[in-house]
């Protein structure tokens, strides 16, 4: 995202080179998702929203996976490779070296594993940094239990003098509750100078980015901290338990947001909404609903209970009950379910119906058309106002290729039909129950493909003598005889 000509230049460095061994995963830690986005994508969304001009991502462990995901989200992000992890200061050195030109203005340093960090918080950090005229501003927070975090050390006047990592801190320093989030706004010229002179004089034998605070103080440069009350935003993810905890918190924030926007969520604890979902006013979400990916729901629609939609476009005043759908479209005033399955390419027109135990894939169902019961619709186009009978199968696959079926407008197809594609059923045509359609049906015609029923009397007595069916048949015959007086 480019800044305006009047905005100070900001370069973002996103640190994402860590191994994440506690995740115990074949997937890079920063690629694990909450609310429909990987953690690295959350980080990139946050810095983009803060108005940065250039973003550098430092990758290391699983760098091929991570780089591919970053490029898929934003191909303009610069990639810097930290082959050997020698600390955050070393990572920033590598990031600066990866740029074609030395950055000017402010450098924002953040991390790829703090998924609740918001663009608003980063914008406020940058604004405070500029307004105070500081050389370094640290995003800090106060924790009841700061164990494991670096501590913000201040002098008697409250000015920041240093950041002390937990393992290097004295007992008195460990009693400090204000912690370093690791997220900094730094003057670009000072940062280049400071990181080039870092030394690994610590318990870890690493180059700490936080040591630039001491350098700034020693040079008499102004250093401060921007205290964040919302401590969730500073929390990183190291294992799956933390991932789940932050996922619940982010989902709680998303459900709260949508309720303030006029959405009714009957049970927020069982309703999950991804970050990219869009909901209109007067939408109702019933318990057990998951709205994932880029799902959009229109005004006045009711979703659920027990419904999962991913990348589904839902119109206004729609009802979807106990349905699983992905990459599909549902028009205004339509109804879906219960127990429907909308596969990619399903497109239901205005006022249409996809009913109980119906599966639809790569098919267009026109306005007011209905597929009410127990059917499979694959690779088809159904015209407006048409009704498809219960138990109908669109046989679209010949074992090698998929073929399409077209059913015209205001047609009426009976129960237990099979349409062997490719085939066309004309406007206003009818079909008989149990018919297999192998040839085109002209408009207004009735297609009947069943043989006349033939009853073979005595078949059970002849072929199934002594069975329960035979006994039941004999009993029925005797009952009829008694009733008739024979």
Structural domain contains residue 58: yes
Structural domain contains residue 242: no
Supply the Cα-derived Rg of the chain in whole angstroms. 33
Do residue 404 and residue 441 come from a single domain?
yes
- Write the DSSP string, 276-345: T-EE-TT-EE-TT-EEETT-EE-TT-EE-SS-EEES-EE-TT-EE-SEEEES-EE-TT-EE-SSEEE-TT
Do residue 197 and residue 334 come from a single domain?
no
Domain termination residue (choose one: 234, 251, 280): 234
Do residue 228 and residue 337 come from a single domain?
no
Q: Decide if 37 contacts 59 (C-beta within 8 A).
A: no
Among residues 308, 297, 303, the alpha carbon closest in space to that of 321 is found at: 303
pLDDT for 430: 96
- Residue ranges for the chain with pLDDT beneath 50: 1-6
What CATH number has the domain bearing residue 358? 2.160.10.10
Other C-beta atoms closer than 10 Å to the C-beta of 13 total 31
d(CA 38, CA 105): 29
pLDDT for 1: 37
Domain termination residue (choose one: 219, 234, 249): 234
Domain range for residue 371? 261-447
Among residues 27, 20, 90, 102, the alpha carbon closest in space to that of 58 is found at: 90
d(CA 227, CA 214): 19
pLDDT for 2: 38
Among residues 304, 390, 327, 272, the alpha carbon closest in space to that of 318 is found at: 304
For residues 33-70, one letter each, b for 16 or more C-beta atoms within 10 angstroms of the residue's C-beta and e for the rest, the string is: bbbbbbbbbbbbbbbbebbbbbbbbbbbbbbeebbebb
Domain count, the chain: 2
pLDDT for 199: 86
- Write the DSSP string, 118-159: -HHHHHHHHHHHHHHT-SEEEEEEE-S--TTSPEEEE-TTS-
Structural domain contains residue 468: no
d(CA 410, CA 382): 9
What CATH number has the domain bearing residue 60? 3.90.550.10
Do residue 216 and residue 286 come from a single domain?
no
Structural domain contains residue 477: no
Do residue 173 and residue 308 come from a single domain?
no
Do residue 87 and residue 226 come from a single domain?
yes
Do residue 321 and residue 390 come from a single domain?
yes
φ, ψ of residue 239 to 5 degrees: the values are -145, 175
Among residues 362, 294, 356, the alpha carbon closest in space to that of 323 is found at: 356
Structural domain contains residue 480: no
Structural domain contains residue 221: yes
Of these residues, 166, 317, 373, 410, which one is catalytic? 373
d(CA 305, CA 290): 10
Do residue 265 and residue 199 come from a single domain?
no
Structural domain contains residue 481: no
Other C-beta atoms closer than 10 Å to the C-beta of 151 total 24
Beta-sheet pairing, 347-348 with 323-326: unpaired
Do residue 220 and residue 267 come from a single domain?
no
d(CA 22, CA 466): 68
- Write the DSSP string, 83-104: SS---HHHHHHHHHHHSSS---
Do residue 210 and residue 307 come from a single domain?
no
Annotation says 166 is catalytic: no
Q: At what angle do helices 188-195 and 211-218 cross, to 10 degrees?
A: 110
Do residue 167 and residue 308 come from a single domain?
no
Do residue 149 and residue 230 come from a single domain?
yes
Structural domain contains residue 323: yes
What is the distance of C-alpha 380 from the center of its chain?
29
φ, ψ of residue 95 to 5 degrees: the values are -65, -45
């Amino acid at each position: 995202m480019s800044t305006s000509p009047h905005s100070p230049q900001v370069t973002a460095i996103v640190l994402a080179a860590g191994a994440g061994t506690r995740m115990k995963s074949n997937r890079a830690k920063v690629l694990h998702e909450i609310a429909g986005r990987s953690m690295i994508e959350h980080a990139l969304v946050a810095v983009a929203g803060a108005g940065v001009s250039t973003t550098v991502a430092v990758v290391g462990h699983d760098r091929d996976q991570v780089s591919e995901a970053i490029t898929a989200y934003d191909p303009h992000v610069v990639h810097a490779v930290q082959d050997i992890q020698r600390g955050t200061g070393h990572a920033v050195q590598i990031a600066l070296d990866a740029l074609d030109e030395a950055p000017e203005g402010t450098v924002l340093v953040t991390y790829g594993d703090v998924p609740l960090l918001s663009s608003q918080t980063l914008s406020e950090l940058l604004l405070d940094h500029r307004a105070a005229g500081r050389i370094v501003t640290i995003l800090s927070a106060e924790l009841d239990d700061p164990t494991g975090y670096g501590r913000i050390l201040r002098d008697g006047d409250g000015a920041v003098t240093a950041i002390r990592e937990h393992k290097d801190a004295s007992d008195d320093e460990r009693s400090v509750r204000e912690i370093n989030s690791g997220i900094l706004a730094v003057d670009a010229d000072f940062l280049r100078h400071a990181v080039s002179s870092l030394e690994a004089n610590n318990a870890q034998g690493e180059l700490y980015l936080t040591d630039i605070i001491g350098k700034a103080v020693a040079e008499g440069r102004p250093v401060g901290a921007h205290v964040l009350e919302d401590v969730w935003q500073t929390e990183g993810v190291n294992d799956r338990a933390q991932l789940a905890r932050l996922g619940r918190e982010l989902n709680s924030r998303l459900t709260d947001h949508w309720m303030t926007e006029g959405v009714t969520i009957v049970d927020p604890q069982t309703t999950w909404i991804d970050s990219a979902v869009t909901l209109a006013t007067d939408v109702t979400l019933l318990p057990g609903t998951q709205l994932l990916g880029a799902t959009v729901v229109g005004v006045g629609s009711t979703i659920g209970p027990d419904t999962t939609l991913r990348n589904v476009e839902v119109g206004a005043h729609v009802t979807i009950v106990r349905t699983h759908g992905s990459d599909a479209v549902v028009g205004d005033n339509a109804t879906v379910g219960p127990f429907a399955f909308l596969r990619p390419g399903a497109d239901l027109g205005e006022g249409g119906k996809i009913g109980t135990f119906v599966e639809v894939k790569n098919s267009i169902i026109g306005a007011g058309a209905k597929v009410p019961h127990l059917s499979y619709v694959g690779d088809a186009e159904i015209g407006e106002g048409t009704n498809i009978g219960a138990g109908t199968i669109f046989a679209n696959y010949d074992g090698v290729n998929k073929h399409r079926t077209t059913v015209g407008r205001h047609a009426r197809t009976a129960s237990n039909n099979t349409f062997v594609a490719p085939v066309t059923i004309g406007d206003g045509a009818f079909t008989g129950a149990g018919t297999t359609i192998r040839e085109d049906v002209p408009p207004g015609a009735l297609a009947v493909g069943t043989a006349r029923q033939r009853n073979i009397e005595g078949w059970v007595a002849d072929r199934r003598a002594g069975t329960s069916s035979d006994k039941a048949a004999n009993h029925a015959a005797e009952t009829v005889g008694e009733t008739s007086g024979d």
